[in-house]
Amino acid sequence: MKRVTAGLIVRDGRILITRRAGDDPLCGKWEFPGGKIEEGETPEQCLAREIEEELGLQVKIGDFFAAEAYAYHRGEIYLMVYWSQWQQGEPVLRVHDRGKWVEVGDLSEYDFAPADLFVVRKLMSYMRV
């Protein structure tokens, strides 16, 4: 099982979501940015690294939000989600084709990757939207 992270990157009360691009099997699906944990790396280190590599953003990794296993046809992942505070930089889309800062109440308007749907539901419930 692959261990992956995702960040709820907050800036001015909005959360950053990104859309997968290219040859990715989930091309066109929205997600909370993050990536695979490398050997010897903590989830928090992974998340900060992935956000910098994929989006060019500096973030402060905060509290754990949620985790859940999800089985895709190509393998199972264990997704760990953390609150993250934007520190500096503007998103540079290196592996995504779109990025948006959205209100929690608007998340249901986007077609999220299946593994990220539990995060959307929990966020909307958490924020009572």
| Cα 52 to Cα 37: distance, rounded to the nearest angstrom | 14
CA 97, distance to chain mean position in Å, is 15
pLDDT band at 129 (very low <50, low <70, confident <90, very high): low
| Cα 14 to Cα 100: distance, rounded to the nearest angstrom | 9
The answer to whether 32 touches 107, Cβ cutoff 8 Å, is no
CATH assignment at residue 37: 3.90.79.10
| Cα 45 to Cα 61: distance, rounded to the nearest angstrom | 8
* Average pLDDT taken over every residue of the chain: 94
pLDDT band at 73 (very low <50, low <70, confident <90, very high): confident
pLDDT tens per residue, range 48-58: 999 999 999 99
Which range of residues forms the domain containing residue 32?
2-126
pLDDT tens per residue, range 91-101: 999 999 999 99
pLDDT band at 35 (very low <50, low <70, confident <90, very high): very high
Q: What total of structural domains would you count in the chain? A: 1
